[in-house]
Structure 1
């Protein structure tokens, strides 16, 4: 089968249906999960576009009593989840359609978790065995439909939600937060601006790359990550330069899902810094990971050089670690990604606080080197100034 005409189903880690035009299968997917009145949860930017209205009408025409909830932020908050639960209950809904980029998918999955709980969402933070507190019977089924190729949240068992009182991102987790059905339709990503395609695609790269570099033993995740990185290398420049390239769009959706499947092996320093930066500055997560990437790679060099050299050989990049680092820098430049945090109005004034938060972030545990707060501060300040 030509990759340009991908139409396939697979079950890993959940039921995935990929192919152009497969959004038309959404009503049947909802009914398969017992939904008669799904709540479509997305972000306000997407809600204002025709694609959401068209998707809603698709459901209504099939007899589903669907509605839309879109009052969420780019970095969804606990209050957004509370408001979504209220909308779900008020509309007597019986399932969730998670539609959009990372923010829409994460908010939707958290709402689906919380509709049957009587504890606050923070009680289910991914710490220890908090997930066992969940009333599983009260959770709503989810069909996930990503419209960006980046976070891979459609195949994840967690949501990143900002505690706006503490100004910190928290990971809310339960195994059953994994959506039951995923539809990867590249036609839904065609309208993305080039800068969003680039930033979300670099997020997919960061997931695959940090999973690959993680010191934990998970050979299946490692294999997935390697191929995910290859897909990004081959298809992200095409998807960014040629928005209507369906093959490139489809392969980037697959690479994104692969990254989120692989990072059960662990993430690392890019995310450990990106999470507090996103919480404090409300900056785009994918852009943060893209900017931080070479600085964290360089800081990890002593622990990952041999591994990156193997990866470079697979990617047909010469000169081992140095060649790989130069490829990352060239890719960022080609995609228009800023080289420094200062270019997105982040300075060093809170570097001490951010470095401390990075050491406490769950992602830090998967970094090849357990950086101290001082080491994270050095990386952050290098990313602000561009000192590579």
Structure 2
């Protein structure tokens, strides 16, 4: 079966090997005649970027590259890209890369014609209504990792460096107007990044599935997204040029970001905090935190997890079988079991708890944890204690 398709949920998406070749027609369809291609420094000189630029230019579409993006993009990265966008007379953005590049690109597009500062559009209340919607530039998104699903999201996670906190910038029109899911651009991803980003996609689907808001459609998407990751992530890690596995992981990643309109939870509340404080890889943080947050939520998610375990065809389906599968799955992918293994210590436990409880993702957690509980989950994740005794 050929893994190809043209979908319109939640935005027009083209799926299949080689669909990067459609970039010029995608730009024309979005009304883009001069595009700023936003990517990261590691990708800027690779064939996928030079090919994209060449395809645009051959079709008469201007295209230049901006690549000054950190692994956890900052407000300064967005401002630098915005200055290039405005000075270059661009009328659209091509977002090509992992979640960091996509988030930065979407924020640059949002800010293209705004007069208020970036932080005015933090996802609090109705801040987004302050934006001049007509001035938001169109975005074509081409993810090179299967993790964040930012290509189907209406928000960007940007670090406020001055305050050492990640903030969610939101506007409905930040959703890219076209997505190209081409597995060929992901085949060169190293196994450890494939694993970490794939676990990020798992965390999105899993937290969306466990969230408490009413959204059966998102719940069903999350359920199948988890199954796809269980089936295809190990193969994508073991054999990076497997186009079927790479395609299914790209789709599962988009499914996770589509599903988490239902909500996220404690994994992301802590991961956002640790990303801001320690500048660690977001997907890896979620992967390490996953079992500790699951155990902390056990009292209210046990029935749901049992249903999920049945769907995944786990032996003796229940919470314990699912938890054991998560632990084995992580180990097989060489994901560390503790935060200590990535040089995070317990010294900032109090601060982590206070920041996590204020993170917007905390609102979707099945239990409204206090700052003290978040601190304890963090300490457990540093030390490797996987128990509900202290929760």
Structure 1: which 5+ residue stretches go unaligned? none
1:73 corresponds to: 70
Deviation for aligned residue 1:54 = 1.6
1:247 corresponds to: 244
Deviation for aligned residue 1:60 = 1.2
Correspondences of 1:136-215 after superposition (within 5 Å): 136-215=133-212
Distance 1:360 1:7 in 2: 41
1:262 corresponds to: 259
Deviation for aligned residue 1:74 = 0.6
Correspondences of 1:18-33 after superposition (within 5 Å): 18-33=15-30
2:389 corresponds to: none
Distance 1:46 1:294 in 2: 32
1:59 corresponds to: 56
Distance 2:69 2:195 in 1: 23
2:108 corresponds to: 111
Query: Counterpart of 2:125 in 1: which secondary structure?
Result: coil
1:279-305 alpha-carbon deviations (Å, 9 max, x no partner): 010000000000000000000000100
Query: Counterpart of 1:143 in 2: which secondary structure?
Result: strand
Deviates more, 1:262-271 or 1:84-93: 84-93
Alignment match of 2:325 (pick from 324, 327, 342): 327
2:346 corresponds to: 348
**Off by >6 Å, runs of 4+ in structure 1:** none
- Length-normalised TM-score, structure 1: 0.99
Please say if 1:133 is aligned against 2:130: yes
1:152-195 alpha-carbon deviations (Å, 9 max, x no partner): 00000000000000000000000000000000000000000000
1:120 corresponds to: 117
Please say if 1:376 is aligned against 2:370: no
1:255-287 alpha-carbon deviations (Å, 9 max, x no partner): 000000000000000000000100010000000
Alignment match of 2:38 (pick from 14, 17, 41): 41
Distance 1:289 1:145 in 2: 23
Deviation for aligned residue 1:57 = 1.2
Deviation for aligned residue 1:356 = 0.5
- Across the two proteins, how many residue pairs are aligned to each other? 385
- Length-normalised TM-score, structure 2: 0.98
Distance 1:256 1:307 in 2: 21
1:4-54 alpha-carbon deviations (Å, 9 max, x no partner): x21100100000100000000000000011111011001111113222112
Query: Counterpart of 1:46 in 2: which secondary structure?
Result: coil
Query: Counterpart of 2:212 in 1: which secondary structure?
Result: coil
Query: Counterpart of 1:354 in 2: which secondary structure?
Result: helix
Distance 1:327 1:227 in 2: 17
Correspondences of 1:252-331 after superposition (within 5 Å): 252-319=249-316, 320-331=318-329
1:308-333 alpha-carbon deviations (Å, 9 max, x no partner): 00000010012311000001001100
Distance 1:34 1:47 in 2: 24
Query: Counterpart of 1:349 in 2: which secondary structure?
Result: helix
1:358 corresponds to: 356
